[in-house]
Structure formats: structure tokens, C-alpha cells
Amino acid sequence: MTHAELKKRALEDVSVKAEFDALEPEFSLLRDMLRARKMAGLSQAEVAERMGTKAPSVTRLESSLTSGKHSPSLETLRKYAEAVNCKLEVHLVPQQPAKPL
């Protein structure tokens, strides 16, 4: 069984799908971070040096977004963004149309 087949089968379970969907913001941020690091042509060690930290910290930062065990601070995310020549933007997006006042 391939990874794609296993994922498809697992997501047929409603409770698994709900948990998977709940992690989308973290996965989306991780994809953005990895894409930005790749576009900047930097290794984790180079990002760490620019952030003033060590490579294992960047490894933990990137992996923490998939494990759900740690939520990085905005300051850490800002430093990462600057290290990869980006700026951090945080947005709140309404889930439903706003009700008139």
C-alpha cells in the first residue's frame, strides 16, 4: 500500500478526517516556511545562523508544526521570516459572512 492509498483510506474515517483538517493551518504554515527557505537557497543551519540560534532549533521549529507539540511564538516566526528574506503577516479570516450590526 502506498502512502497516498493509506492516507485516502485513513481519511475515510470521519474522526481522522476532522483531526487532519484541524491541522491544516499548521501544515499550510510549514509549507510556506519550507518554500521560502528553498527559494532563499538556505539550509536549516544557514537560517539558524541568521536567526542567531543553532540548526537543531530550526529543525525543531519546522517539525513542531507537524507534531502539534509546540506552538512557536510570533517573534520566532518573525525571525525565521526575516532570515529567509520574507516578512511575517498574520491574518484573521472570517469563517462565515459577518452579520450586519
In a domain, residue 46? The reply is: yes
What's the CA gap between 95 and 2, in Å, rounded?
34
In a domain, residue 31? The reply is: yes
In a domain, residue 6? The reply is: no
Residue 37 phi/psi, 5-degree rounding, is -65, -40
How many CB atoms are closer than 10 A to CB 80? 24
In a domain, residue 65? The reply is: yes
pTM for the full model? 0.79
pLDDT in tens, 45-81: 999 999 999 999 999 999 888 776 778 899 999 999 9
In a domain, residue 41? The reply is: yes
In a domain, residue 90? The reply is: no
